[in-house]
Amino acid sequence: MKGLFISIEGADGSGKSTQIELLRNYLEKNNYKSVLTREPGGTIISEAIRNIILDKKYMEMSDMTEALLYAASRAQHVEEYIKPLLEKGNIVICDRFVDSSVVYQGYARGLGISCIENINKYATKGLEPDITILLDINAEEGIKRKKNQRELDRLELQKLEFHKKVSEGYRELSNMYPNRIKRIDASKSVEDISNEIISTVKQLINDKYK
């Protein structure tokens, strides 16, 4: 594949959006062709599936249905959008990819890491990011950033348990794939984090195109 595939992962409140924007600014300034996309989403069909997954009308959705819908949305996204862009030599930045499913559905919801990895091997036909940037934040900090530092109510505390599992799951995954997943401490300053991401991406570009 001529292009470069970068995924960005992290629990809610990890500062993904800010960092994605800074990375895009850097790539643009240096005249690299880059495209930003997100999951679940990125194509008309994938966005339609996203609306089903995130709709509060469907609270009874089973965990496995959810996992398969994320994978279905991803299959379309890879086939219709990501692969053709990579073949044309673009740098594709994807806000969440398979690791989100492995962590949220496999680890936090308990369907199992290998089950979700297997489903997604079919969905992506084996496409993996060249690098994954993981913004590592602990659950309390992530939730605090989202809600303005007041005491958490019962529901939010339940959420906290889920978020703890998400953060744990991401750490476990980054230990499983240390070559692909670059873990960055998201409690550092925005500037420090951005510098770390940019130097990692620069290195990758050098290795790939030298």
Q: Which residues bind ligand TYD (CB under 6 A)?
A: 12, 39-40, 70, 96, 100-101, 104-105
Nearer to ligand TYD, 3 or 40 (CB): 40
Rounded Cα distance between 103 and 143, Å, is 17
Q: CB of residue 202 vs ligand TYD: minimum separation in angstroms?
A: 25
Nearer to ligand TYD, 18 or 203 (CB): 18
Q: Least Å distance between CB 51 and ligand TYD?
A: 11
CB of 210 to ligand TYD, least distance (A): 32
3-state secondary structure of 210: coil
Query: Strand pairing partners for 132?
Result: 7, 181
Of residues 177, 79, 101, the one with CA closest to residue 133: 177
Sign of CA dihedral 100, 104, 105, 108: positive
**Smallest distance from the beta carbon of 67 to ligand TYD, in angstroms?**
8
Rounded to whole angstroms, the Cα distance separating 118 from 46 reads 20
Which residue has the CB atom at the shortest distance from ligand TYD? 104
Quick one: 144 or 203, whose CB is closer to ligand TYD?
Answer: 144
Q: Compare residues 12 and 47 and give the one whose CB is closer to ligand TYD.
A: 12
Gap between the Cα atoms of 69 and 170, Å rounded:
21
